[in-house]
Amino acid sequence: MTQGSNKTYKVPIGPVHVGLKEPITAWLDVDGERIKNAVIRPGAIHRGIEFMARERNPIQVIYLAERICGICSFSHIVAFTRAVEDATGIEVPARAQYIRAIVLELERIHSHILWAGVACYTFGYDSAFNLGMILREKVMDVLEALTGNRVNYGTGTIGGVRRDITPAVEKVLQDMLTFYKNEFGIFYNVVTDDPIAKARMRDVGVLSSEDAITHCALGPTARGSGLRVDLRWSSPYEAYCDMDVKPVVPQDYTGEVRGDVFDRFLVRVLEVYQSLEIIETALAGLPTGDLMWEPKLTKLLGFLKQADGIGLSSIEAPRGDDTHVIRLTGGQENVTWWKVRAPTYSNAVSWPIMFRENELADSPLIINSIDPCISCMERMVVTDRSSGHEQVVTRSELVERCREKTRRLMGS
């Protein structure tokens, strides 16, 4: 293919590609090696989780919400439980709020280090990838010591948490803080000081501040474009209400914003240091008291069965805003409906802009630069079991059904 011939060819990246963590397809229009346009086609990993929730009570949905994503599983159950607490008026004890914040930051650390390592792997810096994976093991060990599990922790519940921070767990957490303060700087330096790593990320996949606003970018993707957006800062919840958490943006550290992959890398590795400070502050101020609003499960289920209302929650997950909305109907044991909007929904909209005028070889790095979670994003219902009717639903029909449902839920 000769560049400059004014003739483009379509090249598919995905749904299965060595540079992608999860299945998604990017159809790229290329002129030579230069990308002129891109169309993103999700739809390869739908699981129907929201539909499954309608056959479960809120306690059972906790463990379903946890399986939306293997990386930010605790973020999803905190967003879900807070939505239920919003609908029912349940007050969470202060100690439980602090423990939730600590686990959320532990999850952010392991998510960001994993992403940074995968980014290095994507452009062939395998030694940095291996170093990142070694460093990540420490926080995974702490999560296992605190909850008994490395991925799905089973720690959150409606009205509190199910695991306490004992003196033994606190010692493990303090050891982890010391470890990362001494060791994480090595990873930061070998990547940010390496001229080849910098060349592979600088001015690649640029998303300007203006485009980030118009395309509703969230989380580190938006902050990498210089936007000061962080729900822990603008709408604090849990223990963040007692802390001074400020958005991490590149201009505060380098004096400029380019909105490229390097800026998104910089935001994530600097947020690891921020999470360490938050955990240290939360441990120092950890209140005494109960872990749950109601420890007796049968009594809690009875209360939830009588609850009637809509609850909404939005928290700052590792990839950006994670929003859950739930409807409970009085007298019904199961959830009436449940809607989840993971941050990849919004961040994926910016992909076509990031691709334009970049080289084909950088496409996996650009896709990975928003830290996509396709498992979080995919969901739809296409069957009618009551009538046995089967129908192939087109994308435009799904979009219209989604809009009709939103109008119905909003009562318009």
Split at pLDDT 50, 70, 90, the class of 393 is: low
As a whole number of angstroms, the distance between CA 332 and CA 343 comes to 31
SS3 222: helix
Sheet holding 337-341, edge to edge: 309-317, 320-328, 337-341
What percent of the chain shows pLDDT beyond 70?
Answer: 92
As a whole number of angstroms, the distance between CA 72 and CA 315 comes to 12
DSSP H or E stretch at residue 337: strand 337-341
Phi, then psi, of 308 in degrees rounded to 5: -140, 120
* 18-37 mean pLDDT: 84
The alpha carbon of 43 is separated from its chain's Cα centroid by a whole number of angstroms, namely 19
pLDDT higher than 70, residue 108: yes
Sign of CA dihedral 13, 15, 21, 22: positive
257 or 8: which leads in pLDDT: 257
Beta bridge partners of 11: 28
pLDDT higher than 80, residue 395: no
* 363-372 mean pLDDT: 86
As a whole number of angstroms, the distance between CA 233 and CA 246 comes to 6
Can you give the pLDDT at residue 349? 87
For the segment 150-170, what is each residue's pLDDT rounded down to a tens digit?
888 889 999 999 999 999 999
Can you give the pLDDT at residue 25? 84
Question: Token digits for 16?
Answer: 């299965």
pLDDT higher than 70, residue 317: yes
Phi, then psi, of 99 in degrees rounded to 5: -65, -40
Q: Which of 40-49, 171-180, 354-363 has the lowest mean pLDDT?
A: 40-49
* 114-138 mean pLDDT: 92
Mean pLDDT, the chain, as a whole number?
89
Phi, then psi, of 327 in degrees rounded to 5: -120, 125
Question: Token digits for 320?
Answer: 């950006």
* 316-332 mean pLDDT: 94
Q: Which of 40-54, 291-305, 395-409 has the lowest mean pLDDT?
A: 395-409
Split at pLDDT 50, 70, 90, the class of 323 is: very high
pLDDT higher than 60, residue 264: yes
Furthest C-alpha separation in the chain: 71
Can you give the pLDDT at residue 41? 80
Can you give the pLDDT at residue 385? 67
Contact (Cβ atoms closer than 8 angstroms) between residue 101 and residue 169: no
pLDDT higher than 60, residue 357: yes
How far separated are the first and last CA of the chain, in Å rounded? Answer: 52
SS3 247: coil
Contact (Cβ atoms closer than 8 angstroms) between residue 98 and residue 238: yes
Can you give the pLDDT at residue 130? 94
The number of beta carbons lying within 10 Å of the beta carbon of residue 6 is 7
In residues, how long is the chain? Answer: 412
pLDDT higher than 80, residue 232: yes
330 or 48: which leads in pLDDT: 330
As a whole number of angstroms, the distance between CA 160 and CA 154 comes to 12
Question: Token digits for 135?
Answer: 């460093």
SS3 38: strand
**What is the pTM for the complete model shown?**
0.88
- Return the half-sphere exposure (C-beta side, CA atoms, 13 A cut-off) of residue 22: 21
Can you give the pLDDT at residue 154? 87
Can you give the pLDDT at residue 375? 62
pLDDT higher than 80, residue 20: no
- Return the half-sphere exposure (C-beta side, CA atoms, 13 A cut-off) of residue 218: 23
